[in-house]
Structure 1
Amino acid sequence: MARTGSSQSWASSPSVRKSMRGNRGRDTRPELAVRRAVHAMGLRYRVSARPLPDLRRTADLVFTRARVAVFVDGCFWHGCPLHHTVASANGAYWAEKLRTNRERDADTDRRLIEAGWRPVRLWEHEPVEQAARRIADEVRRGPS
């Protein structure tokens, strides 16, 4: 892996680097679909916001009054048990990246729960209407 300031990239090839730089951090297709469905149910939310101001982690949808934080997790990036694929190049780097992503997700959920929030984690492949119903059920329960 390249060091900070080095001219070398962490990517295994220029085409991989270009592809990875094109990945969005927010407003992905699955996230937009869930947002549209939840909005159509009459629910309003903040987008890509920090539920806990002191924690540098953002949720995809935040329902402040209900204290619900929604994360739409990508199958590759978060290790979906159904769809995650092992990287063919740079395997050790990606295995470590996935491990740290999972640890961070678990730590985020734990911190949110300790602060009285309810995290909702969705996989990007979940049916949109089912995901929207899960979110609506949590939001309508109100704060813990």
Structure 2
Amino acid sequence: MVRDFLILKMSKKYPEKRIIVPRFNEASGFYTTPQRSKIMSKIRGKNTLPELAFRKALYAAGYRYRIDYKRLIGKPDIAMPKYKTVIFIDGEYWHGKNWEKRKPNIKTNREFWIAKIERNMQRDQEVNQELKQLGFTVFRFWETEIKKNLNSCLTIVIEHLNEMQRSTK
């Protein structure tokens, strides 16, 4: 099994200026209501329902994987080192789906949230680029894609994995 491709930190300098996200605290002028805090505390960063559904389907199809794989940059939701394939299942809000439409709708703590989401989007691109340079195929699906079209998302990945299997024989 090949292990020399594993990297913990991005080594490449990117030409694009890194977006700075301000600290989210009262000293910085950001405030939150108790109700908002309660809502935000329920949001999970891993083992979301779409991730669980995709992993279950992938496992049922006979493929094995690692979850939240810390040995690779970006900590992919699903990593398949044997196939040099990683899968991210991104939340629409956090990763900026339809960002130009959604951006004007942010009403509270705009300075923080706009910078935060734009930095997430920038980081996604950096991670994709770094993983591709390491020879990985990167799949990114929106959570709603998984919820609405699990089978078509799964088919895309399985076709790729089957192709990888054929090419290694």
Query: Please, which moves more after superposition, 118-127 or 84-93?
Result: 84-93
Q: Which has the larger radius of gyration?
A: 2
1:63 partnered with 2:80 = yes
Question: How far apart are the structure 1 equivalents of 2:60 and 2:29?
Answer: 43
- Secondary structure at the residue paired with 2:89? strand
In the TM superposition, what whole-angstrom CA distance separates every residue of 1:77-113 from its partner, at most 9, and x where no partner exists? 111129x743332122111111000000000000000
The correspondence of residues 13-92 of structure 1 with structure 2, limited to 5 A, is 13-50=33-70, 52=72, 55=73, 57-81=74-98, 85=102, 86-92=105-111
Q: CA deviation at 1:21?
A: 2.1
User: Counterpart in 2 of 1:139?
Assistant: 161
Aligned length in residues: 137
Over the matched positions of the two proteins, sequence identity in percent amounts to 28
Question: How far apart are the structure 2 equivalents of 1:76 and 1:110?
Answer: 22
User: Counterpart in 2 of 1:118?
Assistant: 137
Question: How far apart are the structure 1 equivalents of 2:154 and 2:119?
Answer: 28
Structure 2 unaligned runs (5+)?
A: 1-23
- Secondary structure at the residue paired with 2:97? coil
- Contact 1:30–1:72 (8 Å) recurs in 2: yes
TM-score (norm 2): 0.72
Q: CA RMSD in A?
A: 2.4
TM-score (norm 1): 0.84
- Contact 1:75–1:124 (8 Å) recurs in 2: yes
- Secondary structure at the residue paired with 1:49? coil
Q: CA deviation at 1:12?
A: 2.1
Question: How far apart are the structure 2 equivalents of 1:38 and 1:14?
Answer: 39
Distance 1:37 1:2, change over 3 A: same
Distance 1:9 1:62, change over 3 A: farther
Structure with the higher helix share, 1 or 2: 2
- Contact 1:11–1:17 (8 Å) recurs in 2: no
User: Counterpart in 2 of 1:2?
Assistant: 25
Structure 1 unaligned runs (5+)?
A: none
